[in-house]
Amino acid sequence: MLLFSIVIPTYNGGKTIGRLLKTISLLSDNYTKELVVIDSGSNDNTLKVVNKYRATFIRTKIIHIDKSDFNHGITRNLAVKQATGKYICFLSQDACLLNRKMFSILLNDFQSYKKVVAVFGPHLPYESSSFIQQLEVTCRWERFQRILKDQKIWVQNLENNLIPLTKNTETLWYALSNTAACYLKSFLLENPFPKTKYGEDMLIGKKIIQKGLTKIYDERCAIKHSHKYNLTEYYYREREDLRLRFTNLRLKEVPQILCKLKRILTMRINIYKKAIHILELMVYYFLKLLIVLELKLFPNSR
């Protein structure tokens, strides 16, 4: 039986997808893998790069959709129906795998614990990302490290109460990222992703916990991934993220500003550069505040 289907949604990813596919080709395991690319009308060399790596996979499927039809939930559901593996691994076209034994680890996690339907790991930022966006990624995932301490795995279910499930910890309990996450296919067929512009992974993460099932956070499945947003792009991305957290998931946002300030203050740079970074951070948090006010005053705005 085919074990893994690797699903990659693509759009003009020619500059990055080759790096991802190369890391997959260098993995040290010999598990059978299928590649499912669902492309939203790329007009660069994305598909040419994909075809270059066909030999890495037992089979390669390319699904074409219109750019206007892309939806984070519905598009992934389409790929799940086309995939034939027991496990569906979603990857972003600009991610980079870091552990050559990643698929062995994924398989072991699925087989070693009860009712496991999803496995994911932390993100490390690219050095080429802006300083603020590196801080965002680092502090978001550092919360897991503080809880786990010397452990590498958090088996997340209602029976394994490593930390209580409260309003302050819901973001950790429901966390899941389709930038790099692997699911039991049968679970996704019965519980498809919701139709949503953003956050289909956390919405399904919440459902997993509420259904009494298990998802696993495994540090060994770390990847590299971050963005290079300008201020305008950051605004729109952050608005969708906060809308998801406040409106759809009704989460209590736990600001990570203290983590970010601590990182700036402990950097080995002169005081002037630290001051510049702190001012930059304040600009981003002022923008976050404006978005929160907008969502409270105009909850139906798009």
Indicate whether 199 pLDDT > 70. Answer: yes
Mean pLDDT in residue range 12-17: 97
Indicate whether 253 pLDDT > 90. Answer: no
> Are 129 and 226 within 8 A, CB to CB?
yes
Mean pLDDT in residue range 116-123: 98
Confidence of residue 250 (pLDDT cuts 50, 70, 90): confident
Mean pLDDT in residue range 178-194: 98
- Domain 4-224: CATH superfamily is Spore Coat Polysaccharide Biosynthesis Protein SpsA; Chain A (3.90.550.10)
Q: What percent of the chain is modeled with pLDDT above 90?
A: 81
Confidence of residue 68 (pLDDT cuts 50, 70, 90): very high
Which range is least confidently modeled, 56-60, 118-122, 180-184, 239-243?
Answer: 239-243
- Residue 235 burial (CB < 10 Å; 0-12/13-18/19+)? middle
Q: SS3 of 125, please?
A: coil
- Domain coordinates of the chain in residue numbers? 4-224, 231-297
Indicate whether 114 pLDDT > 80. Answer: yes
103 residue type, one letter: F
Indicate whether 280 pLDDT > 80. Answer: yes
Q: pLDDT digits over 140-163, tens only?
A: 999 999 999 889 999 999 998 789
In 143-242, the DSSP E strands lie at 153-156, 180-184, 214-218, 223-224
Give the predicted TM-score (pTM) of the model.
0.93
Which range is least confidently modeled, 65-69, 274-278, 295-299?
Answer: 295-299
Mean pLDDT in residue range 272-285: 96
* Distance of alpha carbon 162 from alpha carbon 146, whole angstroms: 12
Residue 21: φ, ψ to 5°: -65, -30
Mean pLDDT in residue range 272-296: 93
